[in-house]
Structure 1
Amino acid sequence: MKIKNWIYLFYTTLLLGGMVGVFTGVIIEREQYINFLREGLALDILFSVFWLFGISLIFSLISQMGFFAYLTVHRFGLGMFGALWNPVQWLLIAVVYFDLIWLRYINFAEGEGILPYILTASFLLVVGLVVAYVKSKATNKGAFVPTLFFIVVVTTLEWFPVLRINDAKYLWLMLLPLLACNIWQVLILHRLTGTTK
């Protein structure tokens, strides 16, 4: 990848993460922003949006580190496992999906059912499947499993700091910018490197 393409990827991913984070935060805290508007507290709105943008930039940087780490791990995986690398990735996807449900449920559920944990993990899996399908159509069938692995497993690893807290507000505030950045990076990479179908 050329330096100008890497710079483009860096700044567009950064900006995308910041914007998605602001949008997510405003939606999550919409009542607070409505109150700010009613009371004419424009400065509070500005500071709050600035804070959301700043923290989302951090999430974007985490996403970018995860992306380049995965590109390295993927090459090592191909070298070490060869043709078995795809089955290994499928196994890891299944383990992470199961753990995202079960471990969170046994650690955090307080009289609630397992359904919310299934829905959260399934949301990530479905997004991963859709993105992997789009990527494989744009490049080749061999891109499906690596893309799914990246979206499910790597996003979960990047998301881990808030998974430990289990605060619904922060779960979504971090997940959506991470997902947006990861999806953008994986779908734009083949265009930047000239490896389109």
Structure 2
Amino acid sequence: MTIRNWIKFFFNALLIGGIVTAVMGLIVRWEFFSQYLTNGEIWQFTGALLWMVFLGFTMSVVAQMGFFAYLTIHQFGVNMFKTLTLWNWVQLLIIAVVLFDLIFFRFRLTSGETGRTLLYLTLLVSLIGVSAITAYFKAKWTKKHTLISAFFFMIVVTTLEWLPALMVRSGNIDSWVTILLFPLLAVNAYQLLSLPKYNRQSDEDKAKQEERKKARKKVASASKAK
């Protein structure tokens, strides 16, 4: 990928993270934001909203680091297990382990917390649903064999990026766990689906650059001949 296209890729992902986090913050923590509007404290409201945007930028950077780390891990996995089929089975096993760990250890659900159980089940369904849809379109728009790898990335890598929030045990943790999941999902889905477009654009840009170099050489040769 060329530097110019990487910059576009980076800032688009950054923007998605900021917008999604701000929207989720307004929805999940509306009681917190509404008090500023009720009291006419517009600057305080704007400052709190900008802080959510900045948090979204941070989550976007985390997601981008995770994405490029996964590209390396994926290639390493294919080389290590020799065939893509075997690597896909390994990825499916890891997906199952990660989902098991989420449900039985990270969510820390108890029988007496019905509302909290419903919240975390909704988050789990969102994680799996968005991952499945993203993987489907990735396979449809590129190659069918990318389905498992895309599903693995969306489930496992997103969960790893989400893990710091899940490990916090104090404060208004349920709200932050909810808020932080969705920018990670949005940015990761964007990266997975849009990367081929930026790679193609980079190839086209490189080809045009080579054509311009050849044209300049021809002009220089013609000038010398005269």
Q: TM-score, normalised by structure 1?
A: 0.92
Residue pairs, 1:157-172, within 5 angstroms: 157-165=160-168, 167-172=173-178
The yes-or-no answer on 1:124 pairing with 2:130 is no
SS of aligned partner of 2:112: coil
Asked whether the equivalents of residues 91 and 152 of structure 2 are also in contact (C-alpha less than 8 Å), the reply is yes
What is the identity, as a one-letter code, of the residue corresponding to 1:132?
A
SS of aligned partner of 2:113: coil
- 1:187 matched to which residue of 2? 193
Q: Assess, with a 3 A threshold, how the Cα gap between structure 1 residues 78 and 59 changes in structure 2: closer, same or farther.
A: same
SS of aligned partner of 1:178: helix
Work out the number of aligned pairs and report it: 194
Q: RMSD of the TM alignment (CA)? A: 1.7
Cα offset, 1:10, TM superposition: 0.6
- 2:113 matched to which residue of 1? 112
Partner Cα distance (2:69, 2:106) in 1 = 25
Q: Assess, with a 3 A threshold, how the Cα gap between structure 1 residues 20 and 188 changes in structure 2: closer, same or farther.
A: same
Asked whether the equivalents of residues 22 and 53 of structure 1 are also in contact (C-alpha less than 8 Å), the reply is yes
What is the identity, as a one-letter code, of the residue corresponding to 1:16?
I
Asked whether the equivalents of residues 135 and 144 of structure 1 are also in contact (C-alpha less than 8 Å), the reply is yes
What is the identity, as a one-letter code, of the residue corresponding to 2:183?
P
- 1:174 matched to which residue of 2? 180
Deviations 1:111-142 (A, max 9, x none): 33655544432321121111100111111101
Asked whether the equivalents of residues 63 and 158 of structure 1 are also in contact (C-alpha less than 8 Å), the reply is yes
Partner Cα distance (1:112, 1:71) in 2 = 39
Question: Bigger radius of gyration, 1 or 2?
Answer: 2
Asked whether the equivalents of residues 151 and 179 of structure 1 are also in contact (C-alpha less than 8 Å), the reply is yes
What is the identity, as a one-letter code, of the residue corresponding to 2:8?
Y
Q: TM-score, normalised by structure 2?
A: 0.81
SS of aligned partner of 1:89: helix
- 1:155 matched to which residue of 2? 158
Deviations 1:67-101 (A, max 9, x none): 00000000000100122100000111111111111
* Gaps in structure 1 of 5+ consecutive residues: none
Residue pairs, 1:16-95, within 5 angstroms: 16-83=16-83, 84-95=86-97
Asked whether the equivalents of residues 131 and 148 of structure 1 are also in contact (C-alpha less than 8 Å), the reply is yes
* Gaps in structure 2 of 5+ consecutive residues: 202-226
Percent of aligned pairs sharing the same letter: 41
Cα offset, 1:27, TM superposition: 1.0
Asked whether the equivalents of residues 97 and 125 of structure 1 are also in contact (C-alpha less than 8 Å), the reply is no
Residue pairs, 1:133-152, within 5 angstroms: 133-152=136-155
What is the identity, as a one-letter code, of the residue corresponding to 1:111?
G
152-161 or 2-11, which moves further after superposition? 2-11
Partner Cα distance (1:29, 1:184) in 2 = 25
Partner Cα distance (2:113, 2:37) in 1 = 35
